[in-house]
Amino acid sequence: MKKSYFFLLFGLITAQASAQISLNYLDAPGTGFFSEEARTPVAGNMGTTLGEQRRIAMERAVEIWQSHLNPKGPVVIDARFESLPCSALGAVIAGASTISAFQNFPGAPLSDTFYGSALANHLAEEDLDPARSEISVRINAEIDAGNCVTTASMYYGIDSPPPTPGIPFFFRTMLHEIAHGLGFSALIDNDSGDFFFDNPDVFTRNMTYLPTGESWADLTSAERLGAAAAGPLTVWGGRNTQIGSQSQINNGDNLATITRTSDGMVFPAETATFGPRVPAGGITAEIVLVDDGVAPNSDGCEEIINAADVSGKIALIDRGGCDFSTKSSRAEIAGAVAVVIANTNPQQIIELGGTDPGLSIPTLAITLANGQTFRSLANGETLTLLPPGDRPGTFQGRPFLQTPFAFAPGSSISHFDGLTSTGILMRPDSLNIFPADTSSLDVTLTVMRDLGWDVQNIPYPNLDYALWAQLNQASPDGPEDDGDLDGHTNLEEYAFGGDPNDVTSFPAPPVIGLNAGNQVTFDYPLSNQAVDLSFRLLRLDTLPDPNPEVIPAGTLLDGSGEINLMRSNLGDLDTLTPQAFFRVEATRQ
Amino acid sequence: MKFSPLKISLIATAVFGVSVIVYATEKDSPSSGSTFSTTLHNGKIVEVEHYANGMERVSLENMPMHYSVLVRAADDSRTISCVRGDEQGLEGIIEQRHAAPQTQTPVVR
């Protein structure tokens, strides 16, 4: 009887069926998505009418999001063509947003935090508001009608981008805009910096302001407004993205950073095209303003006369008067270990062009405003110059979000910054620059995972313990340390999943289940990235058992995530002994 | 760098037919009663729906919406970018960006 109870309980454990992202076309017959205007098939879109081509491209975009997000609640997208602003100067192509936002719903990972309808339904695993759709998409009907600019029509191909960048790429635009509706959107008020409705949204919670290391959710409204126009000082702080971006963002950008030792303040900088790059370990030294004895004394165009001060330091030099490489050469002769050149514009960084094969110290460019900050530093203040690394457009693996120096109308923090790779879906200009794979969702997928979507198929990079400890900022960082005092060492959290700084985050317990054919299975978590660990499952009859049985490796239930479940088959229920102990063992090489 | 083998483990005990762990979750139904109100928040009309289980649904008059915008520059070149705004402000954004095209990076080239 008890045995059947066991059956019953495990019989209740069933896989959650994936819900669907569906489209609700709101156009009248013969218009918009139902236009019967004849068209020739184009680039993977075999539709023969305008309406059919629109539906095929739209449904392909939805299908791609469906395949990656595995929604567990319904997502209905209201889509329509309508008249939106257009003129000879330009046109709105399309727009999208969530229709509602929810907080404190069943299954919400964070309390007092807003989630867009689609994501909230997924997390709650039900339709929280059956009376309403989740996402609204509006597309400008005027463009294809030839009523604005001089573009004859949008491009409805799928497999390859339009022949010229200025033609709206409908399929890629839909991928981008739907992402906003799915949650890639900060709901804060652009004008006031206030939260959406007195509480932060989950996107805002994941935004990190580098100078203070705080989440935007912890800044004041005024601070958020300032951060929105502070230049590239805000990154996406989500952990999946921090790890995943290693293999997702790589374009050889020249971004570098300067950190002030006293308070950790981070300043953006650009690497010169001449001279070496800042070495991998960075350069830490005092910064000293040069004096070349000829007004303006700080332009470094003549022999530097305060070489005794400059030697062994970072030379601060003002723009103007001579070639950039000449300034760096003068500083090198004076014994400087690096050069920082301040622009004449308070808010812009200039790219330092030129050549000098003989130069052996790196040169970085900064804004005039930051040059003035460095000029006023007290004696003994040190800076650390850091190289672009192999993940340009990121800081410690976290991609920069769009926070331009001038927060013009329409600017949005809900995009990656232009410093990230060209062609990344959620750059604001991504609709002008396309990747070779027009279906690519790149690092946008890891952001979706950070937000709470059940994203599959992320190509996570390999990790070893040292890199894991660095990325997770484990403190202390030894494998046997337990900084968060949750009873699990760093190494256990590395091997089986857990945050080394969160006492509530630790490896998930194994689960024993009964499956088809009376087969008992054992599911346990393991790192899918760790290249320095090996795992095995042991069966013990007693504790201790000097001769445990090794259970053959099973099947990885999800081979794409950071931590995944391994399922091993224990055998037929009727053949198992009444009691057994199982040990999952991870061995570090 | 070589490390000494170090073993760590998760231990699970399975006592077949004797004891089990029961997970029972019962969700509050969002439709189990709610109060609906329309209010003004930061100058915008807001629909707020409070549910008995503590959940809250909020819809603004104009939810923050992102628009892809095609702008023709003075040299007749075209750029497309995504902006946030409401429909009333979009023509102004297009005019402004036509007059002074924006770069996405702070770098002067």
> ipTM value of the model?
0.70
Q: pLDDT higher for A241 or A158?
A: A158
Is there a single domain that holds both residue A28 and residue A175?
yes
The crossing angle, in degrees rounded to 10, of helices A444-451 and A170-182 is 20
Determine the residue of chain B that is closest to A270 in CA distance. Answer: B107
What confidence tier does A368 reach under pLDDT thresholds 50, 70, 90?
A: confident
Of A386, A401, A423, which marks where a domain is finished?
Answer: A386
Considering the domain architecture, whether residues A443 and A543 belong to the same structural domain is answered as no
For residues A146-163, average pLDDT: 84
Is there a contact between A73 and A190 (Cβ–Cβ < 8 Å)?
Answer: no
Query: Which residue in A has a C-alpha nearest to residue B9's C-alpha?
Result: A585
Q: Which of A99, A407, A229, A410 is nearest to B89 (CA)?
A: A410
Assign residue A559 the CATH number of its domain. Answer: 2.60.40.10
* Judgement on whether residues A76 and A128 belong to the same structural domain of the protein: yes
Say if residue A37 is in the same domain as residue A161: yes
Contact A19, A73 (CB under 8 A): yes
Q: What is the mean pLDDT of residues A238-257?
A: 59
For residue A248, pLDDT beyond 80: no
- Mean per-residue pLDDT over chain A, rounded: 83
The rounded percent of chain B whose pLDDT value lies above 90 is 5
For A271-330, how does the pLDDT look when each residue is reduced to its tens digit (9 = 90+)? 887 888 887 678 999 999 999 999 999 999 999 999 999 999 999 999 989 999 999 999
Is the pLDDT at A169 greater than 90? The verdict is yes
* The pLDDT of residue A16 is above 60: no
Q: Do A132 and A62 fall within a single domain?
A: yes
Given an 8 Å threshold on Cβ–Cβ distance, is A92 in contact with B108?
Answer: no
CB A522 within 8 A of CB A540: no
Of A102, A150, A177, which has the smallest distance from its Cβ to B55's Cβ?
Answer: A102
At A311 the pLDDT is 95
Choose among A566, A585, A563: nearest CA to A472. A563
Shared-domain flag, residues A439 and A536: no
For the domain that residue A381 is a member of, what is the CATH number?
3.50.30.30
Asked if residue A432 lies in contact with residue B81, where contact means CB atoms within 8 angstroms, the answer is yes
Q: Please give the residue of chain A at the shortest CA–CA distance from B19.
A: A6
Give chain A positions within 8 Å (CB) of B2: 589
Q: Is A207 inside any structural domain?
A: yes
**Residues A488/A482, Cβ–Cβ less than 8 Å:** yes
Judge if A224 and A244 occupy the same domain: yes
Task: Please give the pLDDT value at position A175.
Answer: 96
**CA-derived radius of gyration, chain A:** 28
Question: What's the pLDDT tens digit per position in A185-198?
Answer: 999 988 899 998 88
If one counts the domains in chain A, the total is 4
Sign of dihedral through CA atoms A527, A532, A535, A540? negative
Question: Between chains, do A585 and B90 touch, taking CB under 8 Å as contact?
Answer: no
Q: Is residue A149 part of a domain?
A: yes
Give the whole-angstrom CA distance, residue A306 versus residue A390. Answer: 36
Residues of A in contact with B101 (CB under 8 A): none
**Strand-pair partners of A572:** A519
CA distance B34 to chain A (A): 11
- Where helices occur in chain B by DSSP H, the ranges are 87-99
Q: Do B9 and A101 touch (CB under 8 A)?
A: no
Contact B72 A88 (CB under 8 A): yes
What per-residue confidence (pLDDT) applies to B14?
Answer: 45
pLDDT of residue A197: 86
Tell whether A427 is covered by a domain: yes
| Domain boundaries along the sequence of chain B | 32-63, 66-99
Cβ–Cβ gap B8/A350 under 8 Å? no
Helix (H) or strand (E) holding A288: strand A283-289
Statement: residue A437 has pLDDT above 80: no
**Do residue A510 and residue A437 come from a single domain?**
no
| Between A313 and A495, the higher pLDDT residue | A313
Q: How many CB pairs under 8 A join A and B?
A: 292
Q: CA A217, CA A202: separation in Å to the nearest integer?
A: 9
- A365 pLDDT higher than 50: yes
Which helix or strand (DSSP H or E) is residue A98 part of? strand A90-98
Chain B nearest-CA distance from A130, in A, is 9
Q: Which of A412, A417, A496, A536 to mutate to test the interface with B (most CBs of B within 10 A)?
A: A412
How far apart CA A284 and CA A422 sit, in angstroms, is 31
Are A34 and A28 contacting, i.e. CB atoms less than 8 angstroms apart?
A: yes
Containing structural domain, residue A446 = 202-249+393-451
Cβ proximity of A337 and A283 under 8 Å: yes
For the ranges A140-154, A428-442, A563-577, B12-26, the lowest mean pLDDT is seen at B12-26
Q: Are both A438 and A522 inside the same structural domain?
A: no
Q: Are A404 and A231 in contact (CB under 8 A)?
A: yes
A381 and A399, same domain (yes or no): no
Within-domain flag for A187 = no
Q: List the Cα angle A42/A48/A52 in 5-degree steps.
A: 95
Kindly state the average pLDDT of the residues A436-455. 85
A405 shares its domain with A508: no
Place of tokens 């989950």: A202
CB-based contact, A514 to chain B, within 8 Å? no
Residue with tokens 């800076």, as numbered in its chain: A383
In a domain, A267, yes or no: yes
Q: Which residue of B has its CA nearest to A180?
A: B66
For range A232-256, the mean pLDDT: 65
Interface test with A, best of B3, B10, B27, B83 (most A CBs within 10 A): B10
Same domain, A580 and A474: yes
Q: Is residue A300 classed exposed, middle or buried when 0-12, 13-18 and 19+ CB atoms within 10 A define those classes?
A: buried
Is A253 near chain B, with CB under 8 Å?
no
Highest mean pLDDT among A58-62, A434-438, B32-36: A58-62
Query: If you measure CA to CA, which chain A residue comes closest to B34?
Result: A129
- What is the predicted pLDDT for the residue at A319? 92
Binned at pLDDT 50, 70 and 90, residue A183 comes out as very high
Q: Is the pLDDT assigned to residue A95 strictly greater than 60?
A: yes
